[in-house]
Structure formats: structure tokens, C-alpha cells
Structure 1
Amino acid sequence: MADPLMIQPLRFDPSFEQIPDDEAETTRELVETLRSIIETTYKDYGHAVRSVHAKSHGLLQGELEVLANLPPVYAQGAFARAGKYPVVMRFSTNPGDILDDGVSTPRGLALKMIGVDGERLPGSEDAVTQDFVMQNAPAFGAPTPKKFLGMLKMLAKTTDKAPGMKKALSAVLRGAESAVEALGGESPTLRNLGGHPKTHVLGETYYTMVPFLYGPYYAKLSVVPVSASLTALTDAPVDLDGKPNGLRDAVNAFFVDNTAQWEVRVQLATDLDRMPIEDASVKWPEDESPYVTVARLTVLPQPAWTDARAAVVDDRLAFSPWQGLSAHRPLGGVMRSRKPAYEMSSAFRGQHNGCPMHEPRSAEPLPD
């Protein structure tokens, strides 16, 4: 394992991003596909939800503390100075429809830092927030926007179709995924289709999966459970039988009397071939550049999910990696193509729910 203090990060060069001639068309189709999902669920529910990660399982407020005396290469952007920031955290699962938790899919975490100063990305000039959008996998499930579009079209066809069949299929896929893991492997495809193990969402490590600028460098970020109460939940099974909202129930039960702590870690790129920007499916080797802790997250006991909280976080907040500092601009085709998709989803929800998105400027307590 490389010594973090000896890491020589690769300075980002604009030539590292290679934009295919047909990327604009791919992006248009991607947005149309996601819009078809959100329009379908709106007709079903009479209420607009996200086109992906529609179902939340934990809606939390906490504090992020940027560590003092970070090595200069890690003291960049939102982590340039020691300090404390209020945060909002949203735990979710992948699908764009609201499913029984027995349909077990990858988990997501959206993190919003509040009160961040610095030059802003276009479209977020009036905000003071920095968003990181993550999933419990170190790399994205598709290498390029075109491959992502193919996966998305397949999933769109199943939106609001045969929920009972999805639950039965999920059990079969979990068995197949267990067999793959027993041989030392892992299948993102099986997990995405419903084969994710029935484990606790709070015990997972979450990753941005795709790179973003980190000051003059580029990097990935992870949020890792470190308090004993959280690490005890890593790979811990959750009983979801007959419990359509079992994950939400488990998160609520945890935060009745537990304090949770995570570390925020950054992996700096050191080699363009081994740590590419345009292939989002590559897991960057940690033996060459380990994840290094730059901040700590603390969440105190609280009601973790309530209808009142959902009305604020699910309906009034948008989480987008394009909502933040220029020092953390998302990179690569997958992220470029997702930018208008995030914008479409939040605009659709704001319009159809009669509730414009609200970007907090200070620590506004979430309702109980």
C-alpha cells in the first residue's frame, strides 16, 4: 500500500476528457428515458418522485468536520480549510419507482454540505452548498453514457410493472449473486437488477464511483462507517419479510439512541491509464493511491425518517454533483450526460408538486 504522504497526484488536464461526436444525442436519449420513468410514476402516484433513487430510507441532519493540517494536496475545494459544516444526508435505493424493500437493489447516499464558500459551478452561483452523490460501489455499472443508456432503457421498461414478480425475481438474483460472491467475485448487473444482499444501509461504504476535480487534481470520494455502532451493521442482514419499508424501519430504530460517525475519504488519481476519466466502470487501485480521510461526519440520535422530513428532503431538495464548487466539477462522459438529467428531474418535481426546489443557506433543522 502506498504511503498517502508520498502520493504524487496527477494534475488534471482538459485533454483528459474526450467527448464523442454523438454524446449530445446519447444525452438527449438518456434524459428522455429518465423523463419517461418520472412521467410513468407520476401518473401512478399523483405525486412526482425522482427518476432514480425514488425511495428514501433515511433523511438525516448532521455535522461534517474538515480535519485540520491536511497535506496540501488533500486540502482542496470544500476541504481546503478546517471547519464544521451542517449537512443533510439522504439514504436511498436505485429504482425510480417505490418498491417493496424485498426487491433488493444497490443503495445510495446523497450528501449536502451547507455554508461552503468558493467559486461556483455554472447554474449554482447563488448557492452555498456542495453535493456529493454516491452509491455503495467503488465504480459505476457502465463505462460510458451509451452503455448507461442501454441499461437505463431496459430498466425503464419495467417501471411500475409486476411488483410481485420483481420481488420473486429479486430472491432468485440474490441467490445467483451469493454464488458469484462465494467464488470471490461480484456482479454489478445482478445487484442492479435486484440481487443485492438484504443488508443494512447504514453499514455500507458509499463512493462517488466517478471522478471529479479536486482542485488542480482529480479524485473519487467515499463515506465510510467508523463508529462501532455502524461497523457492526456492515454486511449485517435485515429482516425484510413482510416489511415493505423494512430498511426505513431499521434506520429509524438505529437512530433512536445511537450516534453515528463516518469518515469522508478522498482517492487522488496518480495515473490516467489506471485511473481513467472516460471509463466510469474502472475501480481505481487503492494500492497505488489509497483513500485518505479528509473529514468526519457525525449524526446524533433523531427521527431518521418521517412524513414531515420526506416533505422537506424528498420534495424540496435536489441533490446533484453539479451543485457545488468549480474546484469539484464532475468529470467524464457519464457525469456530463447526467447533468441535464438531474436538472430535468428536479424541475419536473418542482413543477408537478407545486413546490420549487429549495437550496438551504444555513442549518435549517429538519422537522420531526
Structure 2
Amino acid sequence: MSTPNGISKKLGHEYVTDDEDQITYKLIQEFQAQVTRMYKDKKMLRQVHTKMHGCVKATFAIEKNLPKELKVGVFAVEKDYHAWVRFSNGNTAPQKDKKKDIRGVAIKLLGVPGEKLLEDELHEETQDFLLMSTETFFSKSVKELSRLLGSMTSTNFLKSKLFILNPTLWPIIGRAVKSKVKCKNPLSIPYWSTQPYQFGSPDKAVKYHLRPSPSNITVVENTTDYNYLRYNLAQTLHDNVAKFDFFVQFQTDADAMPIEDPTVAWTSQNIKVATLTIYPQVFDSNDRIEFGDNLSFNPWHSLPEHRPLGSFNRVRRRVYEVMSKFRHDKNKLPNAEPKDSPDFLNDILPVNSKVTLDQQVPSKHIIFTTAEVIVNCDKKTAYEFVSSVEKLSSWLLKTGPIYGIIKVTRLHGNWAEVGDNRLVERGDSATLVEELISVHRYSNYAYQTTKFSDVFKHFTNKTYGHMWFDTVDDQTRLRWVYTFTYKNILARIFLSIFAPLFLKKYLQNGLNNAKALLED
């Protein structure tokens, strides 16, 4: 097959159109106008991949004994690079995490020697890889994308809201909608570069692919919060390692695997060249969030051996560079690449060394309710207070028809490890037994309740409580989820009334009391 000019396509070869500079200039003008309107009197954020879930520390380990043809650029030596990894949603306007979106991951390797492609950053020692949660991009060409974005960013209200009625835009809108995915945890989904890159010599091109290891443990606290992806990421990285395999996929057919049309999936083999390892760590402090928001990622932060290819990457070079400078100037912040350091990983946390799986709180055939409160203290302080056997009766007090706790007796252990249990007595003399089924100190713990002495023994055999501790604006959110199993349909009806009307108030009042005591 040949190009419209009758020239046979070549592997790794780009086909530049005459209007790319005009399109690039137009996009820059539209993007600058858009973010200026959006962030007129506040800190300016990115134009795309605006909402960050976390910026985390990692290593990027090059595979040992790679064949000679794969020893290119950063893959040329067996080395463990330090890296910053930023997880994000793609939408320009931050939105609820439960909405479908294109999820992104940006990897910045540190300590990469050699001259880079951008003249202003010629001697910076970083290398960026940008990937997203869709194998193909939704636009065939930058001209097609420009037409869509021109409508979406228009100051004309009708044009910006009713662009979906334009039939000429339906193909790209349809592909864009199909590209969006739901996600429970950023660590649980694969990512692709969608765009091609040179691999050493000009006749070799690859796409990148990042796939989570099947052995990863991911924690899902919930999928309802506005920022649940950040909470789930933080809960997972409290004491777990997350690993991803990094692959390259070679262009083996210049026609079937085009450079200039990223809507076409390549069909060649994925070859593993590196492992991305994200360690247990605290990343949800205000300082780290600000650091991640201020970082710049650009596929042209790159060695020449990994030169970005294709029209979208060519446009990205100028757009990303200009928009990053525009954002940093508006925020009066320096625009500098981070440096590597020997102590980069000094603040990582210990790995969860347990070899058994905790019992899980059921998610089907249940009735549950939740309560939460934000406390002005750190997670360690909040955890130690709420989990204390001695202090339980001081904050879990009578609310409505539900009596408070008057006595707690340890039956086994110190209420600190899985299997520890205690006898709880309420003010109406009713008793029950609670047993820890999951413990992640300072992050979350869960327990099951059995041996009810009151009327609840007729409705349920077992209930579950799960206490979650999340960081919100350098404070701690306590979130209490209480779950009932039910014996029959009548029990289900009763509990579905009791839980929201009475138990929720009991839990909430208890947390409010705990907050008052913690902040006193």
C-alpha cells in the first residue's frame, strides 16, 4: 500500500501534513483561553489529566539479559531507575471518580544521563513515559481533534454545549465515549501509550504498554466518594507493593500498524523490558499533592532514542511545553525537572508480610450503613483512640433506642491482631462478641460480631464493622461501615428500616463523640 502521494509507507516513518503548525497554534490559543476562564482567581491546574489521584515513588527496573536489539536508550543497561508516577483522570474539569473517564499514568524516570530532545532541558536527567487506560486514541488526526476541542472550549454557550448534535463530530465522539472506563483502583487496570515512539534507529517504532501484576493486592474502601480513587490508592499503598510489567510493541507492518493514525490497534507481540515497582508509602499529604500538581510531564522529556512519533506527539511537543510554562507562570512557580537523590526511597513504609488472606466483609446479600467524620489529628492518633478497648465506652454512647457501651472484656489477645476478640456489654445488659478479621494498623481494621443476646439473634447470625482512616487535607477522616447479613426476607425488611433510621445515627453520634474527645 502507498500514501496519497504514491510513496510506499516505511517502518518508523512519519508523514507530516502542511497544517500542523496552524493547528498547534490554534490549540494553544484555545487551551490558554479555557484555563484562564476556569482558574481566573485561583491556582491554575492542567488542561488535561487535571484530577490527580496520587504522585508516588517507584523504581523502574530494566529486565536482565535483554537481547542486544532491545538494549536501547534507557533499556541499554541493567539499572533500577528511581521514578515519580502520577495517576490521574483525563477530563479537563475535575469530576466524580465514579464517572467513566480516560485514566492516565505518567512515569518520570530520574537519573537518566544523556542529552534530551527539548533544547531548554537538554541536560535534564529525566525521561517521561505517558500512558492511558485505552489501547487506541479516539481521534484519527489532529485536525479532527482540533474541530472537536474547538467546539468544546468555545465561549459560545450553545456551541460548547450542543456540539454533540453536529453529525460530522459523531465518529470521534463515539470513539471518545468508548475510550472511557470505570475504575475501582488505579493500580488494577492496564495502560497504553496509544502513540508511537522511535526505538533507537529511525526505522524502528514501538508503542508502550503497562500491565499490573496478577499478584498485586489492591484495596477498595468504596466506589462512591468523590475522590475514592485516591482513598483506594492510599489504602492499598499503606502496606502493599504494586508492580507493573512494562512492554514495548514493535511496528512490524507500516500499513496495518500506522504511525499517524492512533485509532488503529497494533497487533504485534508485547515484549517485556522493565518492571515498575511502587512501594508502600504516604503520598496523600498536602505537600505531596502540591508537588504532583506542579510536576510537568511531556513525551519530549526524552532521549533521542525514544523520540515521540506521529502527528499527535508532534503537536504535544509545543502544546505541552507552552501550557506548562503558562501554568507555572500564572502560579508564580518555577518550572524545573526533579533531581534524583540517594535517599529517594528512604521514606517508604514496611511491606505487609502476612502470608494469609484476611476474612473479607461480604458485599452481597447484605444491609449496610455508614457514618464518617473528619478529625483534626493524624491517622495514628485517631486509630489508637478508636481501636482502644478501654476508651470504647467513653465515645460509643446511647443514641435513640440503641444503648451505649458500658463494659468491654478481652477474651483473647489485646484487640490488635486478627483473631483477637472481646465481649461487649451495652447499657441494656445485651451482650455480643466482636472478633478482628482484618488489621492494617493506622489504615483500617475490620471485625465480625456474633453471639447476640438480644432480639438481633433472630435477624442475623453475623454482622461486620469496618473502620477506615483516610487523610483529607492533612486531617483524618474516620469512616465506619456497618454491615448486616440477614436470615430471611422478614429480617431483611426489618434491617433495611433499622439501619438507616437508627443505626446510622448511633454510629454518627459515636464518631462525633470520638472527634470531640480527640480534638479536646
The reply to whether TM is greater than 0.5 is: yes
1:161-180 equivalent positions in 2, closer than 5 A: none
Q: 2:213 aligns with which of 226, 230, 243?
A: 226
Q: 2:321 aligns with which of 343, 347, 355?
A: 343
Counterpart position of 2:269: 290
1:87-166 equivalent positions in 2, closer than 5 A: 87-123=83-119, 124-157=121-154
Counterpart position of 1:250: 232
Shift of 1:33: 2.2
Shift of 1:150: 2.2
Counterpart position of 2:287: 308
> Percent identity between the aligned chains?
31
Cα separation, 1, equivalents of 2:94 and 2:20: 30
In the superposition, relative to structure 1, how do residues 246 and 306 fare at CA in structure 2: closer, same or farther (>3 Å)?
Answer: same
- Given the two structures, how large is their TM-score scaled by the length of structure 2? 0.58
The secondary structure found in structure 1 opposite 2:22 is helix
More strand per residue? 2
The secondary structure found in structure 1 opposite 2:39 is helix
Cα separation, 1, equivalents of 2:187 and 2:156: 26
Shift of 1:97: 2.1
- Given the two structures, how large is their TM-score scaled by the length of structure 1? 0.81
Instruction: Tell me if structure 1 keeps the 8 A contact 2:111–2:125.
Output: yes
Instruction: Tell me if structure 2 keeps the 8 A contact 1:61–1:87.
Output: yes
The secondary structure found in structure 2 opposite 1:58 is strand
Query: Which letter does structure 1 place at the counterpart of 2:212?
Result: P
Shift of 1:145: 0.7
Q: 1:209 aligns with which of 194, 203, 206?
A: 194
Cα separation, 1, equivalents of 2:155 and 2:251: 37
In the superposition, relative to structure 1, how do residues 81 and 28 fare at CA in structure 2: closer, same or farther (>3 Å)?
Answer: same
- Structure 2: 5+ residue runs without aligned partners? 1-8, 162-173, 348-473, 475-520
Query: Which letter does structure 2 place at the counterpart of 1:212?
Result: Y
Counterpart position of 2:19: 22
The secondary structure found in structure 2 opposite 1:294 is strand
Counterpart position of 2:36: 39
Q: 2:241 aligns with which of 223, 246, 259?
A: 259
Instruction: Tell me if structure 2 keeps the 8 A contact 1:97–1:160.
Output: no
Shift of 1:322: 0.4
Query: Which letter does structure 2 place at the counterpart of 1:282?
Result: V
Cα separation, 1, equivalents of 2:156 and 2:237: 32
Shift of 1:139: 1.5
In terms of mean alpha carbon deviation, does 110-119 or 53-62 score higher? 110-119
Shift of 1:67: 1.2
Cα separation, 2, equivalents of 1:350 and 1:334: 23
Shift of 1:100: 2.5
Q: Which has the larger radius of gyration?
A: 2
The secondary structure found in structure 1 opposite 2:216 is helix
Alpha-carbon RMSD across the aligned residues, in angstroms, is 2.6
Q: Does 1:279 align with 2:261?
A: yes
Q: Deviations over 1:8-63 (max 9, x none)?
A: xx9855xx2111111111111122222223212211x6001001011100210011
Query: Which letter does structure 2 place at the counterpart of 1:311?
Result: E
Cα separation, 2, equivalents of 1:256 and 1:159: 46
Instruction: Tell me if structure 2 keeps the 8 A contact 1:78–1:116.
Output: yes
Q: Deviations over 1:215-273 (max 9, x none)?
A: 0111011111015225x68xxx88433x1111111111111111111111100111101
Moved over 4 A (4+): 10-13, 157-161, 364-368
Cα separation, 2, equivalents of 1:309 and 1:365: 14
Q: Does 1:54 align with 2:47?
A: no
Q: Does 1:352 align with 2:335?
A: no
Of structures 1 and 2, the one with the larger relative CO (CA 8 A, separation 6+) is 1
Counterpart position of 1:197: 182
The secondary structure found in structure 1 opposite 2:68 is coil
Cα separation, 2, equivalents of 1:309 and 1:322: 24
